[in-house]
Structure 1
Amino acid sequence: MSVCPNQELVERYVKGDCSADEQLKVETHLTGCPDCREQVETTRSYITDSAQAGSASVDEDTADSVHGEFPTEQNNRPTKSMSEEVTLPYGADALTASMESMIEGYRIIEELPRGGQAVVYKAIHTATNTKVAIKVLLPTLLASARARYYFEREAELIASLDHPNIVSIRDSGIIHGQYYFVMQYVEGRTLDRYVHSQKLSFRQRVELFDKICAAVTYAHQQGIIHRDLKFANILVDKRGEPHILDFGLAKAVGLSEQSGDNAVATMTGQWAGSLSTMSPEQAAGKPDLIDVRTDVYSLGVILYRMLTGQYPYDVSGPTLEVLKNIQKAEPVRPRQIIRKFDSDVEAILLTALAGERSRRYQSAADLQADIENWLHGRPIRVRSVSTMYVLRKIMARHRYTTTVVVLLLLIILGFAYFSFNLYITTIRAERGRDDTKQWAYLEAASTLRRNRQTLFTAFLGEWQQGRDSEAKAIAKILYNLFRDSKEKQAAQFLLNPSPLAEKESDFRRALTEEYAWLADFIVGEYHYREGSRKEALEAYQRSYGAIKQMPEDSRQRVGVWLVRQLMARLGDLDNVGADKPAGEKE
């Protein structure tokens, strides 16, 4: 099944009324569509809840909005008490035919795709001849006081919001026991479909996200947390303006999750939100930890997928496995997906997607501020992350690099102190150094050189993998301990974002002709990371040729580390072929 099943088929699948062929198609589709799996579970929960007439074993608040290009899960504010007795003179099949005669002043045009808790109609307001969307609580849910409550609360929350990028509510009420509300009709596409169909540039996608972020910031300032931000709940109109909808899971800030007017996701085994954009605290089923940073995380997932085409981690498979993965998995660095991904935007994404809430942006406003900093070419705030925090992240993910850095710090500082004292002792001597002192000095210098080279090797490893934050942390150590070293100059060259044509000549001039072999090797490393394998091979070959021509006593400057790295690179390029792009396999 290439397209998502409609709500009618989902209901028949849940009830076991579909044919064997339909069942096979639905189940095949569900293996690769997290949203549809969630829709099935939501429908199953609501059908069970209706049958049990309000039993607490189901949480209607997990309802997912429907697939489609028009608003489906929106606002609602019944004008009568929830305790009112509800009677249904008609069934679900008769609902469409009954709506036009029930709600005066509106002409029903068509039914839009159904969600797990409501059906939405495209209609015309006859007095103004304007298009509207009418959302109606499904008849199967009217027996549930909780479903009626959530429907009513959603309308009240949206009615309190007035923002151009949030769908507005225009009317609500109860007619013949049927809960409904009328909202702004958005003629457009869901966010993911819009981004794909318009082929937006990287910057255009960030600009579109900035508007979404501004709307969420506004909602937070009004005391409302959405808790279900996802692509299906954001529609983009023909003018390119996004509209956030479906506040069915929204939470009013300051109200307890256990309070009668805000009880969401409190039952064991229930989660509020959608799997694909759910935060770790939502996945853990901890409603007491949900705050504005929950929406920040979901926004991070949305922007990540907008820019990379992928989710930050695997969201396929059984629901429980996905929930565990959300809680434990670290986001894949965007640069591992797109080699030239902007490093500042990557830093913004990884901050928004931090598993620890204290490490995230503390509000949507903070996230939006950095987005706008990037759009206007200003420094982003999260670039001020301390070196110690970056090193702690290295310790958590890269034990080998951590061991190298820590041991080198201890060894280098120790030998630096030893060498300094040895130097002072030597220059104070009335006579020249004796053989013992000379040997000790040379041994110390040799050890420092080896450790400097090992530290630079660790830097190269992080830089080649696109882990610029870690590479910069190691480079700072190089800068502080070896201020005049060639390795420091090489690190500065590689971290300089300027085009190669603008910086190569200065780099070669700084290293001098004596170190042309090192300049060629570093330029080769630059081309290797960029995927320019032919240019990388040529640079490596020049470096290797220069080293071979060096006198034997001069080769010790090169270091075993570089020779090994050089030979590995040459072997890799010779085996794969210089014309193939980096990372391509035969």
Structure 2
Amino acid sequence: MNLLDINDELGGYRIIDFIGEGAFGEVYHVKGPLGDKALKIIKKPRKNKPSDEIINEIYTLGNISHENIITIHCTGSYKIGECFHDYFIMEYGGKGNLSNLLKNYYSLDKHIPLDKVLDIIKQICSGMKKCHEHDDIIIHKDIKLENVLLTLDKFGRICVKISDFGSASSNYYYDDGIQGTIRYVPPDDNLNSPKRDVYAIGVLFYKLLTNNFPYDVEGVEDIVSKKPWNEKPISPSEINPDCYKGIDEIVLKAINKDVKKRYGDAGSLLKDIENWENQSLKVWLADGKFSVYCAILGLVIGLFGAYITNYFILIFLIPLISAHISKHSYMMSIVSMLSLFIFIGLFGLLNFESNIYTNVFLFISSLIILYSYNAFLLIKKGI
């Protein structure tokens, strides 16, 4: 049963809807003097002083300001029965959280596009970099899908808001004696360093790419025994064909069971992702724009080729091959267009008549070559 009901009013804010709950409190969508906001009310009741959890969260968020970290506007307390429950008003995501986003894609049997995953992870790393580089290092200790809220910026781009700093840099433990959410807790669960957050970000990264958790951690006994970490996790690219080995290496380093081999902080993880992006045109290729441009160029060459060779199939075949191969290599796309054009020209020089049979033959043989090349890339995928 929830602590609050729809239409209850707290500090001038009216409850519109229940959003969800975590270990410390319940979160509601409210409307008041500052418009649409989110209200978090602490589950733990008090009779006199404010709860440790809200004091810790307000103190933490009051010390950092970043576009990817939730902003608190005001605080208060609400009497329920004979006890008081502390609450605070904060930014309202409006677009749910990462868990909602992931469910939406996988309900359609789709992976979240790679460029979108990278953008989300970079924003999380950017926000946590601010925390990890703060004079008083701030360790979140409970980064997970549900604690990453989503909103849209003025350009319609997804903007990440990291929330729920209730256990940040504190000694608060859940009832089971573990700090954090089981599946996001590293084997070195007592670690009080940025590497703890890096592990959680890595787990989240893996989950967004594959819809799976990297390690089969079910309960406290697994963390105590360390058994789940005896099995090496499957590389994301083996589950998600749109992923790359370069991304595999980054994710697996972030979730490495050996703390010495993990990234030192969120800033180091962010730097590696940006380096991977900058080393080539991968991100541009990943979002499909380059494929569209190659298809258009292929159509122009196909029309010209069809005109001078009489092989009408070029009008369809060259754009298809160009767009497909461009997802792997822009140079291979250009080479494939020119090679096919030359191949058709040689076909004409050998006096093969352009009719329905030769066109169908060219189409089928070209597709066989195309998908054989694609299969080779999937096996060798090291981009």
**Which of the five TM-score ranges fits, normalised by the shorter chain?**
0.5 to 0.7
Q: Give the Cα–Cα distance (whole angstroms) in 1 for the partners of residues 87 and 211 of structure 2.
A: 37
Equivalent positions of 1:478-497 (< 5 A) are none
Q: CA deviation at 1:120?
A: 2.6
User: Which residue does the alignment assign to 2:58?
Assistant: 155
Structure 1 residue aligned with 2:139: 225
What is residue 483 of structure 1 aligned with on the other side?
none
Structure number with higher helix proportion: 1
Tell me: CA distance 1:378–1:295, structure 2 relative to 1, closer, same or farther (3 Å): farther
Looking at structure 2, the residues matched to 181 and 308 of structure 1 have their Cα atoms a distance apart, in angstroms, of 35
* SS state at 1:362 partner: coil
Deviation of the 1:205 alpha carbon: 1.5
Separation of aligned partners in 2, 1:137 and 1:275: 21
8 Å CA contact retained: 1:293, 1:363: yes
Task: Identify unmatched segments of 5+ residues in structure 2.
Answer: 282-327, 340-371
Of the two, which has the highest radius of gyration? 1
Question: 3-state DSSP class of the match of 2:188?
Answer: helix
Query: Is residue 253 of structure 2 the alignment partner of residue 351 of structure 1?
Result: yes
Residue 332 of structure 1 is matched in structure 2 by 234
RMSD over aligned CA atoms reads 3.7
Letter in 2 for 1:157: T
Deviates more, 1:110-119 or 1:176-185: 110-119
Distance in 1, Cα, partners of 2:212 & 2:375:
25
Counterparts of 1:144 and 1:311, CA distance in 2: 42
Match of 1:131 among 25, 33, 36: 36
Structure 2 equivalent of residue 11 of structure 1:
none
Q: Residue in 2 aligned with 1:368?
A: 270
Q: Structure 1 residues 270 and 110, CA, compared in 2 at 3 Å: closer, same or farther?
A: same
TM-score (norm 1): 0.43
Q: Does the alignment pair 1:278 with 2:190?
A: no
| Secondary structure, aligned partner of 1:368 | helix
CA change 1:331–1:110 in 2 (3 A) is same
**What secondary structure, in the 3-state scheme, does the structure 2 residue paired with 1:263 have?**
coil
Superposition deviation, residue 341 in structure 1:
3.5
Aligned equivalents of 1:195, 1:266: Cα separation in 2: 26
Give the Cα separation in 1 of the matches to 2:238 and 2:215. 12
Taking the aligned partners of 2:78 and 2:174, their CA distance within structure 1 comes to: 31
2:96 corresponds to 1:184: no
Provide, for residues 510-538 of structure 1, a one-character-per-residue CA deviation record: whole Å limited to 9, x for no partner: xxxxxxxxxxxxxxx98876579xxxxxx
What is the count of residue pairs matched by the alignment? 284
The alpha-carbon distance between structure 1 residues 333 and 250, as it changes in their structure 2 partners (threshold 3 A), is same
Match of 1:321? 222
Which structure carries more strand by proportion?
2
1:474 corresponding residue in structure 2:
none
* CA contact 2:140–2:165 (8 Å) conserved in 1: yes
Contact residue 141 and residue 196 of structure 2 kept, 8 A: yes
Greater relative CO, 1 or 2 (CA 8 Å, sep 6+): 2
The residue identity in structure 1 corresponding to 2:160 is P
In 2 relative to 1, CA 119–304 (structure 1 residues): closer, same or farther, beyond 3 Å? closer
Q: SS at 1:156's partner residue?
A: helix
**Deviations along 1:340-369, whole A, 9 cap, x unmatched?**
741211111121111111111111111101
| Deviation at residue 265 of structure 1 after TM alignment | 3.7
Normalising by structure 2, we get a TM-score of: 0.64
Distance 1:157 1:96 in 2: 29
Maintained 8 Å contact 1:226/1:247: yes
SS of residue in 2 equivalent to 1:109? strand
Q: Deviation per CA, 1:263-282, whole angstroms, max 9, x where unpaired?
A: 23499x61101122211211
